[in-house]
């Protein structure tokens, strides 16, 4: 798998997890449409940042935690390419 595809997977998996959590947060709570959109957007932002940060920190200690980002291998980036 190319580093480009790996980077996309490791970006979209935490976003999908956050979207699912945001959906669960808004279940059973009555918001008007504008408030629901704002709460959902804020929840996705916060959960994505926290999820990715925690998993990356755990991955440094235990590499198998990388599977929680979709792929256990981090992409490599070469300077100047």
Q: Do residues 6 and 73 lie in contact, with contact meaning Cβ atoms separated by under 8 Å? A: yes
Q: How far apart (Å, rounded) are the C-alpha atoms in residues 74 and 4?
A: 10
Length in residues, the chain: 81
In this prediction, residues 71-75 reach a mean pLDDT of: 91
pTM summary value: 0.83
CA distance linking residue 11 with residue 17, whole number of Å: 11
- Over residues 9-57, the pLDDT tens digits come to 999 999 999 999 888 888 878 888 888 888 889 989 999 999 999 999 9
Q: What is the pLDDT of residues 16-28, one digit of tens each?
A: 999 998 888 888 7
Q: Is the pLDDT of residue 81 over 80?
A: no
């Amino acid at each position: 798998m190319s580093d480009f595809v790996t980077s996309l997977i490791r970006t979209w998996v935490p976003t999908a997890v956050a979207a699912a959590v945001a959906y669960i947060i808004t279940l059973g709570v009555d918001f008007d449409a504008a408030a629901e959109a704002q709460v959902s957007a804020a929840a996705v932002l916060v959960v994505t940042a926290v999820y990715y940060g925690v998993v990356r920190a755990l991955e440094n200690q235990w590499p198998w935690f990388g599977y929680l980002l979709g792929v256990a291998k981090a992409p490599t980036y070469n300077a100047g390419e």
